[in-house]
């Protein structure tokens, strides 16, 4: 039975985004690498947004 891929924690995802931004700002990537990193960053941002939305909904249920 295949294992479900565990999502990284919010903090780990943010550190990965910070790393990507840092490498871009320092000019450490060529255009091809930057394109791939931007795709990765987009996925990370979506996952973080989804996690925050889910957490917000859970808090509203608890407080509601």
- The per-residue pLDDT for 62 is 95
- State how far the alpha carbon of 53 is from the alpha carbons of 11, 22, 41, 42, 59, in Å: 16, 26, 18, 16, 10
Per-residue pLDDT, 59: 95
pLDDT at residue 8 tops 90? no
Per the CB < 8 A criterion, the answer to whether 8 and 43 are in contact is no
Per-residue pLDDT reduced to its tens digit, 19-63: 999 999 999 889 999 999 999 999 999 999 999 999 999 999 999
Banded model confidence at residue 3, pLDDT cuts 50, 70, 90: low
**Token pair belonging to 1:** 């039975």
């Amino acid at each position: 039975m295949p294992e479900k891929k565990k999502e990284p924690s919010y903090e780990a995802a943010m550190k990965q985004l910070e790393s990507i931004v840092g490498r871009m700002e320092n000019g450490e990537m060529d255009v091809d690498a930057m394109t791939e990193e931007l795709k990765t960053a987009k996925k990370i941002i979506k996952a973080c947004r989804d996690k925050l939305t889910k957490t917000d909904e859970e808090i509203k249920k608890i407080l509601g």
